[in-house]
Structure 1
Amino acid sequence: MEILLLGGTAFLGRHIAVAAAARGHEVTCVARGSNPAPDGIELVVADRDEDQGLAPVGGHHWDAVIDVSRQPGQVRRAVRDLHCSHWVFVSSGNVYADFSALEQDERSAVRAPLEGDVMEDMSSYGESKVACEAAIRSAGSSSTIVRSGLIGGPDDDSGRSGYWPWRFAHSTGDDVIVPDDPGFPCAMIDVRDLAAWIVSAAEQRLDGVFNATGPTISLGEVLAVSAQAARSQVPARPVPAARLAELGVGCWMGPASLPLWIDKPDWRGFATLDTTRARANGLVTRPLLDTLRDALAYENRRGGARRTGLDDAEERRVRAALDGNI
C-alpha cells in the first residue's frame, strides 16, 4: 500500500510510520520538519496551517491517509485536497460528553463540535476532535475513526505512563507519595499496539468508529506493576485528596501532579473505554508490565525536566509537610 501519514515524526505518528514500513508499505510523512522522519521513510516538509500546505502531496491517489491532527481546519483542508481510498483518523476518548460511567461504548453521546478551524488551547480538545471526526466523515471514502484512550510506553514525552515506574525507581525518601484512592479506574494503551492496529485498520479498510485502549484496572494495580517494573521495594504512601490539594498537588498530568488519577466523581470513568468492537477487529494489547518497563527505560534515557508528576524537590516538600517538618 501507499500510505500518506500526516505527521509521523513524533510519538504515535512515528510508531505508525515504523509499523507500516515494517509491513512493507510505502510510507510518506508530511510534517513541519522539526523532527526527522524514521530511517528509510520519505518526509515531505509542509505547513498544514497554510491553505495550500498539502499541495506537494495533493496530486496523488493514496491507498490510505492516516491523520493524527487535533485542528479542525487542518483536517478539513486535508479532506478537501487529498485523494485516497481510505481514511484513518486518530481521535480521542475526550470526545465523550460524560465521564461518570466506566467503559462507555461508541454509541455514547459526544460533545458539541468546535466552531471554527483552530483549537486555541487544550480546554476545547474534545470539541476539536469531534469537529475533526465530522470532517473525516464528510470525505466520501470509507474511514476508521479511532477514539484512543491514554497512550503510553516508550517515547511518552507527557510522562503520564512513565512517572510511576520512574518515581518508584528514583524515590526521594523511604516511600513514594501516591493518592489515597487505590480503586480509581485506570487504562492505557501501548503506543506500539495502537500503531500496529491503526496500520491493520488501513489495510482492512475498517469502516466505523472504534474505541481503543487497554483493559480497565485499578490505580492500586498500576502502582504495584510500576514498582515491579522498577524492581523497587519502596512502599507507597497514600495521601488523602484533600491533603494533596492543600499542598498544591494536582491530578492527571502537568507539573506538581500525581498522574492517572482525578479527584472528581464525575470524571471517574475518564480513562476507561469499552473496546469490544476494536478487539473483535484485531486489536491486541500487551501486558501493562511490558509497557511500564519500556516507559521507565525511556524516562531513564531522556533525563531533564518532566512535564508530569512531582519532581524531587516537590516530593521532598510534600513528605516534609506530611511529617510535620514544615
Structure 2
Amino acid sequence: MRLLVLGGTEFAGRAVAEAAVGRGWEVTLFNRGRREGPAGTRGLVGDRTRADGLEALRDGEWDAVVDTWAAAPRVVRDSARLLAGRVGHYTYVSSCSVYAWPPAVGFDESAPVVESSADAEDVPYAEAKRGGELAVTEAFGEERSLLVRAGLLLGPWENIDRLPWWLRRIRRGGPVLAPGPRDNALQYIDIRDLAEWTLSAAEAGRSGPYNLVGEPGHTTMEELLTVCAEVTGSSAELRWTEPEAIVEAGIEPWTQLPVWVPRTETELYNAVYRVSVGKALAAGLRCRPVRETVADTWEWMLSADRSGGRPPRRAVGLAPELEAKVLGL
C-alpha cells in the first residue's frame, strides 16, 4: 500500500505513520517540516493554510490518504479536491464531537450531527470536524470516504496532557485527590489501536462514519489511577473523594481533573463514556488493556528522544494548592 499521511509527526498522525511502516507500506508524510517523522517515511513539505501550500502534492499517486486536520474545513476541502483523481481512498480522522448536543445514551453513527460547511474558516471544534467530513465526502464521494469519529484518545505521543498529567502527579507522591466513585466507567482508545484499525479499514475500502473508541467500561477510574501508581513505582496515597465534594470546591471535571467525568454530569458523561461502538467492533476493532497503554505512555515520557512531537500543552490539570485545600492539607 502507498499511503499519504497529511501530518504524521504528532499524536494520531504519527501513530498511523508508524503503524503503516510496521506493515511494510510505502509511507509519505506531508507537513510543514518542523518535526522529524517516524523512521521509514519520506517527507513532502508544505503549509496547507497558505494559498500555494499544496504545491508538493500536485504530483504523485497513492492508494490511500489519512488526514487528521482539526481546524478550518476549507483546508481539508482544498486537499481533498486536489487529491481526488490520484488517491483511491480518503480517511478523515474526525471526532464524536460532531454529534448534536446533548447526545443520547449509547448514541451511534445515525445520531444527528452539527451543522457545518466544507467551505468554513474559523468555526468551533465540532463544526470544524463536521466540515472536514463534508469536504472529504464531497470530493471523494461516500464510497471512497471513511470518517473515523474518535472518542477519548490516550497513549504515547499524547499532546493534550491527560494521561501524562496523571502519571506525573502520581509519581510525585503524597496524598492524591482521586475523583470518585472508584467504579466510574471509562471509555477511551489507545492511539495505536485507532491507527491499526484505521489502516485495516482503509485497506479494505470501508466507507462512511465509524465511532472509534473502546467499549464502555473498558476500565474504571480506580484501575487507571492504580495502574499509574504501579507503573511509576509511586507510593502515592490515592484519597478517593466523592464527586459532589470535588464539584463544590469549584474543580472542573475533564479539564482540572483530566479524563474524569462524574456520572452526575449526565450530558458530558454520555458524550464521552456512553458511545456505541458496535459497528467498529463488528469491523475488527480490538483494544489493548489499560496497563499496556499506561506503561507505554510512561516509557515514552521517560524517553530521551521526544523530538518528533511538541511538548505536552499542559492545558489541563489541577493546581497543587487547590488539591491540598480539598484534601484538608
The interval holding the TM-score normalised by the smaller chain is 0.7 to 0.9
C-alpha separation between the residues in 1 aligned to 2:13 and 2:237?
36
- Shift of the 223–146 alpha-carbon distance from structure 1 to 2, 3 Å rule, reads same
Unmatched segments (≥5 aa) in structure 2:
none
Match in the other structure for 2:281: 279
Check conservation: 1:28, 1:43, Cα contact below 8 A. yes
- Partner SS for 2:29: strand
2:268 paired residue number:
267
Partner of 1:35: 35
- Please list the CA deviations of residues 121-148 of structure 1 after superposition, one character each: whole Å capped at 9, or x if unmatched: xxx1111111111111112351111001
**Corresponding residue for residue 59 of structure 2:** 59
Alpha-carbon spacing, 1:304–1:268, altered in 2? closer, same or farther (3 Å)? closer
Amino acid at match of 2:316: T
Cα deviation 1:98-141 (Å, max 9, x = unaligned): 35544321111111115853235xxx111111111111111235
Cα contact 2:33–2:45 (8 A) shared by 1: yes
* Equivalent position of 1:15 in the other structure: 15
Unaligned runs of 5+ in 1: none
Question: Percent identical across equivalent pairs?
Answer: 34
Cα distance in structure 2, aligned partners of 1:299 and 1:167: 13
Deviation at 1:229, TM superposition (A): 3.3
Report which stretch shifted further, 63-72 or 220-229.
220-229
Quote the RMSD (CA, aligned, Å): 2.5
- Deviation string 1:217-271 (CA, Å, 9 cap, x unpaired) is 2333433333343344533223444544565532213xxx101123532211122
Amino acid of the structure 1 residue aligned with 2:10:
A
Amino acid at match of 1:38: P
User: What code does the residue aligned with 1:146 have?
Assistant: V
Aligned-residue offset at 1:194: 0.9
Structure 2 counterpart of 1:260, which letter?
V
Q: What TM-score results when the alignment is normalised by the length of structure 1?
A: 0.86
1:276-315 Cα distance to aligned partner (Å, 9 max, x none):
11122122110011101122233344799833223xxx32
Residues 1-326 of structure 1 aligned to structure 2 (within 5 Å): 1-70=1-70, 71-82=72-83, 83-113=86-116, 116-119=119-122, 124-141=124-141, 142-171=144-173, 173=174, 175-217=175-217, 218-232=220-234, 234-241=236-243, 243-245=245-247, 247-253=249-255, 257-262=256-261, 264-272=265-273, 273-301=275-303, 306-310=314-318, 314-320=319-325, 322-323=327-328
TM-score, length basis structure 2: 0.86
Which secondary structure does the structure 1 equivalent of 2:125 belong to? helix
- The one-character-per-residue Cα deviations of 1:33-92 (angstroms, maximum 9, x if unpaired) are 111122231111101012332222123232111111113011100121113111111000
Shift of 1:31: 0.4
